[in-house]
Structure 1
Amino acid sequence: MKLTKEQWSWVFYDWANSGYGIIVTTAVLPIYFKTVAQASGVTAANATAFWGYANSVGTLLVALLAPFLGALADYQGFKKRLLVAFTTLGMVMTLGLALLPSSQWQWLLVIYVLSVLGYSGGNLFYDSFLTDVSGDAQMDRISSVGYGFGYLGGVIAFILFMVLEFTNGFGRLSSLAVARWGFVLAAVWWVIFFVPIVKNVHQRHALTSPGAPLRQSWSRVWQTIAHLRQHKYLAWFLLAYFCYIDGVDTIFTMATSIGLDIGITSTTLIMVLLVVQLVAFPFSILYGWLASKTSARTGILLAIVVYLLICLDALRLHTVTDFWVLAVLVGTSQGGIQALSRSYFGRIVPKDRSSEFFGFYNILGKFSAVLGPILVGVVTQLTGQSRIGAASLAILFVLGLVIFGALPKDAADNS
């Protein structure tokens, strides 16, 4: 399938903000923050706690605002304006992380929370633009290409950062300065590849503005919540999605801790992260191809089964080799399950209200990684084995598999 210029422009937004996702959120800022906070007299325990609080605040803000912002974006002309506004906020705040003096660790958290708001808000509008750039028949492939190129873009941006880190900025930078230049790299990467979506992507499905869009958007959110039972297949899908995506996100967020427990070094963990991203690139696209030959439903069910096997295989997790095997398996299905879930959801929502419904989708995506970490933590404490804690996530995938599997094959046509 050949993508149009508009569709490629949409795809490259995922490429654009992937540098933020891997450099800022995952690899660099957590370590940078703990370093500068402890240098200012904050204990290691308090630094970890403050970092956790900041992430919780950012997640909560996005989750609470998502349905309202999505409903507002459904009115003609609002979706792109909101995409530009939130993405600009994310890019400026990411650059602000580099410019802020390292002694101002409190403000570092504030700026980070604002960058999360911009990043996550931008993703909400980006996701909902899927219904504008693609018809139902193409949605699986285009969504999968978006995720695939997002992983590839993140790998390339991170490799550029690693060149800076391993050479100490070509012998001219301290470790803290390298981290700050990493934030600059993430911001510039975002800016450059953001341009195509602004120029070439347009809102095609929209509601007519009633004259008071803010008030009407708020009213529509409550109406949707009250009448969600009218969209029964959509509601059941969201419940299934909440279960299995909780497992997916938890595996990603807890992998580092589990790896350290079995003696894997931080350098090896970085290499594992890169390999997972590289594997996810072709397999995300492969899942899109599979969906075109069968259905998105088949692809999602396959990915859930793969994750279920990963959880069960975690019971024999003892060596570095075992960890590598599981990491590669995660890479084969991580992008696929996310991409096909997005396209499946995009197919069953009312097109002129896609942003509103993607707001609820966004809420579940943000709150999903709540039950999983608690489950892993409790089981790990009870058994003293983090591998058994990881295996306990099979419960979430079984629930997701049962609920999603119970949806009729033609749910997308009757939602």
Structure 2
Amino acid sequence: MESGALDPVDTAYLRLVKNNIKGWYFYSFSSEPFVVSVVSTYVPLLLEQFARANGVQLENHSRRCTPEHAKCLLPLFNKRLMIDTSSFPLYTFSISVLFQTVVVITVSGIVDCWNSVKFKGNVLVLFSIIGALATIGISRLDTAQFYTLPLLYIIANSCFGVINVVGNSLLPVFSTSLAKFDVSEVEDKLTSIISGRGASIGYSSALLVQLMSMLLINMSKTKVDVQIAVLLVGVWWLIWQCPMIWLFHDLPEQLTTHTEENSNIAPVAERSPYTNLVAKRRLTLKSLTYGWSSLWDAFVHARLLRDVMIFLLSWFIISDAITTINSTAILFSKTELHMTTLNLITISVLTMINAMIGAFVIPQFLSKKLNWLPHRTLIYIICWASFIPLYGMLGFVFDSIGLKHKFEMYILAVWYGISLGGLSAVSRSVFSLIIPKGKESTFFSLFSITDKGSSIVGPFLIGLVTDRTHNIRYAFYLLFALLLLSLPILEMLDVERGKREAQELSQIETSQIERLD
């Protein structure tokens, strides 16, 4: 329906909704380069670079690490702990995800207690500013500040986790509001349209920043070229989040619902200033624990559904392995193949482009053409992805193949990108089939925590393996084993049974509600 056919009130409302959606697009446009560039490429390189600059030789701890020495250790906490320089980024990633998970659960609970687009927009802006400033801070560090680098990265990554969850929570609000004016589109389809456009805008932004980074690095030709690229991402994030300040506004029905729905003390008009203060304090305490109680409720519901638990267990392992492959490959390319920053950014661009192709071709064309069931498609993608660590393991047997040459990394970047995009698209499709209708938000919050939380384990284990062997190639054995481990678990998944159980649970809860009424 065109806005010109609406009365003035509806026209103003529709304009408000569209402005909010534009603000959401700016959130994706401004922040996506951080996870694609900084998390996936630049920070692993910087952490390893800082570790080597402050490291000692493996054979002789009294001698400083030099570029000629491939195996070095980083002394930590006044030499009480010695870790491999390649393990330093991996341990940092593990700790970062742990902090990110705690912060995200807590903040998402606070945000969910406020039925306000403006409040969520303010949270997006606040954490975007903090994350961008922390990213810019990384670009200004000296190699001697190897304790400060992980700290700033943990802050920036936690901020990104918050805005990612808060941003996703706004999608149902926008699709519901927009559906009032376009009766030809259902809410689920509008959600997919808005989400798809946001993802495309985010990927386009990340690709543009990566290309600009390649240009800057090619022009700089200095030892701090990675930090120049990090500075670009931080400034990009800081500048392009600014429009959100003016675009996010509460919709009319949300202006008063927060206080009235969440307070159990007295109507707003009847409260004294002291009573209002007590209400706010109680609400704040409730908000701080709401995210954790919601997560527990989601788990309670999930454990009643056998196939949901099977899927979440398998996805924990799959997500862990797939995510860790990226950081391991970056570190392996840098330390073993001696690839330049420009080479690694090129690999990142190849991965991103092929992830977009995989996300579209596998579910939309390949699985339909070959008539694959969704969970079978997931199994085939994992088998495809398993070739990457398997190929790395071949390097122990052969001298000419098995990631012995730089060009092999470019080929595997294409391979990895296709599997990454396919898994991202198909996993959500499979999960959506086996969860109860009407509880999508609850179950997908559990899916998100499983997805993010799994990244605590993989990097930590790879770090232990690298510390033990001082050869990051051994990490491929662990990654290959994790992917194989997920296959028999996925074979236990029965989507049709999962659908029936989810439907039965929905009917039971509906009956209980009717009896209470």
How far 1:405 sits from its partner (Å)? 4.5
For the residue of structure 2 that corresponds to 1:167, the secondary structure is helix
Partner in structure 2 of residue 119 of structure 1:
160
Name the CA distance, whole Å, in 2 between partners of 1:385 and 1:55: 19
Structure 1 distance, partners of 2:48, 2:365, is 43
Q: Percentage identity across aligned positions?
A: 23
Pairwise CA distance, 1:157: 0.7
Q: Say which is worse superposed, 394-403 or 57-66, in terms of deviation.
A: 394-403
8 A Cα contact 1:19 1:153, kept in partner: yes
Report the equivalent of 2:237.
190
Q: What residue ranges of structure 1 are gaps of 5+ in the alignment?
A: none
Structure 1 residue 90: Cα displacement:
0.4
Match of 2:214 in 1: 162
Deviation at 1:59, TM superposition (A): 1.7
The corresponding residue for 1:82 is 123
Whether contact under 8 Å (2:93, 2:456) holds in the other structure is no
Structure 2 length-normalised TM: 0.63
Q: 1:359 to 1:280 in 2, by over 3 A?
A: same
Would you say 1:109 and 2:150 are equivalent positions?
Answer: yes
Shift in Å, 1:353: 9.2
Q: CA deviation at 1:328?
A: 1.8
The answer to whether the Cα contact below 8 Å between 1:84 and 1:198 also exists between their aligned partners in 2 is yes
Choose which of 326, 330, 339 in structure 2 pairs with 1:256. Answer: 330
**1:370, distance to aligned residue in structure 2 (A):** 4.7
**Match 2:204 to one of 136, 149, 152:** 152
Match in the other structure for 2:491: 402
Q: Aligned in 2, Cα 1:198/1:56: closer, same or farther, shift over 3 Å?
A: same
The alpha-carbon deviation at position 224 of structure 1 amounts to 4.7
1:235 positional shift: 5.0
In 2, Cα distance between the equivalents of 1:258 and 1:198? 41
Aligned partner of 2:350: which letter? V
Specify the structure having the higher radius of gyration (Cα): 2
Superposition pairs of residues 204-219 of structure 1, within 5 angstroms:
208-210=261-263, 211=279, 212-217=282-287, 218=289
Q: Which has the higher contact order (CA 8 A, sep 6+)?
A: 1
Distance in 1 (CA, whole Å) between partners of 2:51 and 2:209 is 26
Unaligned runs of 5+ in 2: 1-17, 57-64, 66-71, 76-84, 176-186, 264-278, 395-400, 507-517
Distance change >3 Å, CA 14–CA 346, structure 1 → 2: farther
Matched residue, 1:56: 94
8 Å Cα contact 1:288-1:340 kept in structure 2:
yes
In the alignment, the residues of structure 2 paired with residue 390 and residue 74 of structure 1 have an alpha-carbon distance, to the nearest angstrom, of 36
Q: Measure how far apart 1:277 and its partner are.
A: 1.0
* 1:175 alignment partner, SS class: coil
3-state SS, counterpart of residue 262 of structure 2: coil
Query: What corresponds to 2:73 in structure 1?
Result: 45
What is the Cα deviation at residue 275 of structure 1?
0.8
Residues matched between the structures, number:
403
Aligned to 2:27: 13
Taking the TM superposition and a 5 Å limit, the aligned residue runs for 1:208-357 are 208-210=261-263, 211=279, 212-217=282-287, 218=289, 221-222=292-293, 224-225=295-296, 228-231=299-302, 232-233=304-305, 237-257=311-331, 265-266=339-340, 268-286=343-361, 289=364, 301-312=376-387, 315=390, 318-319=401-402, 323-339=409-425, 341=427, 354=441
- Residue 392 to residue 148, structure 1, CA distance change in 2 (3 Å): farther
- Structure 1 position 401, deviation (Å): 2.8
Counting helix residues as a fraction of each chain, which structure ranks higher? 1
Shift in alpha-carbon separation, 1:261–1:92, aligned structure 2, 3 A: closer
Aligned CA RMSD, in angstroms, stands at 4.4
Whole-angstrom distance in 1 between the partners of 2:207 and 2:343: 16
Q: 1:311 to 1:293 in 2, by over 3 A?
A: closer
